[in-house]
């Protein structure tokens, strides 16, 4: 699989990867906190001149890439081994992040997405429906829930209608958060930021607690991989009769 270009950029716009001598540390090496900006790394030289080493798709080498919003997260997703939990207002299936999340599923990583259906297109259809249907069509074992306003109001006592979070926890070790959704415009069109708290148990505890509160107490199922698998098995038996 070829390295995915940064969101919204063509391969021709991307600088050629610079190979490292051997697989080395990613941004996740050692406890640290770091921020990346957009569009294309931000406006200040201290931001748009950043570079990051990311794991290559084959997992055998690393490449130096621009320090934009996407590449640092791509690196963490490629290195994930157990779990990825993401709460996101908008989620784009045409992003390199989604491509890597799909690949992580193929490695056996458990992925949960908590999304918000409140933003609608011109036909009054939730924008996230496209992502949900693509995940279902591709038969990705990604668990998906959306905010349930009735459950949220019952849990909080507030008329809670919109889930506007943008954060994720990877392998119970790393957190990313900020203003950016996982969608194409975040990296190339809008002024956004994405913070990474790496090997930070305190931040993981805080964000994992918030994710679990949303997931367990305020969400409703859209894709339950276990139920989808049972349905597939029932349909297969029915077709074989």
Q: How far apart are CA 119 and CA 102, in angstroms?
A: 24
Tens digits of per-residue pLDDT, 198-227?
999 999 999 999 999 999 999 999 999 988
pLDDT at 9 over 60: no
Quote the pTM value.
Answer: 0.86
String of b and e for 108-142 (b: at least 16 CB within 10 Å)? ebebbbbbbbbeeeeeeebbbeebbeebeeeebbb
pLDDT at 176 over 90: yes
Instruction: Give the mean model confidence (pLDDT) for residues 90-115.
Output: 97
pLDDT of residue 173: 96
pLDDT of residue 16: 45
Residues 6 or more apart in contact with residue 165 via CB below 8 angstroms: 87, 88, 89, 114, 210, 214
pLDDT of residue 27: 67
Higher pLDDT, 26 or 5: 26
pLDDT of residue 130: 96
Q: Among 172, 60, 92, which Cα is nearest to 101's?
A: 92
**Domains of the chain, earliest start first:** 82-240 (3.30.870.10)
């Amino acid at each position: 699989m070829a390295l995915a270009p940064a969101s919204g950029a063509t391969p021709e716009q991307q600088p050629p990867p610079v190979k490292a001598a051997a697989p080395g540390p990613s941004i996740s090496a050692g406890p640290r906190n770091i921020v990346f900006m957009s569009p294309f790394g931000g406006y200040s030289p201290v931001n748009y001149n950043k570079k990051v080493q990311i794991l290559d798709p084959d997992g055998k080498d690393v490449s130096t890439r621009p320090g934009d919003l996407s590449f640092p997260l791509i690196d963490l997703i490629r290195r994930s081994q157990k779990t990825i939990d993401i709460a996101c207002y908008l989620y784009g299936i045409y992003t390199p992040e989604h491509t890597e999340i799909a690949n992580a599923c193929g490695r056996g990583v458990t992925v949960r997405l908590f999304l918000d259906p409140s933003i609608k297109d011109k036909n009054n259809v939730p924008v996230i429906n496209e992502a949900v249907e693509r995940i279902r069509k591709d038969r990705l074992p990604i668990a998906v829930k959306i905010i349930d306003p009735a459950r949220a109001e019952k849990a909080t006592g507030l008329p809670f209608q919109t889930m506007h979070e943008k954060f994720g926890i990877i392998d119970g070790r790393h957190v990313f958060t900020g203003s950016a959704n996982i969608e194409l415009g975040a990296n190339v069109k809008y002024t956004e930021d994405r913070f990474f708290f790496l090997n930070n148990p305190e931040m993981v505890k805080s964000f994992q607690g918030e994710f679990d509160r949303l997931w367990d107490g305020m969400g409703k199922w859209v894709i339950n991989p276990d139920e989808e698998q049972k349905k597939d098995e029932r349909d297969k038996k029915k077709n074989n009769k």
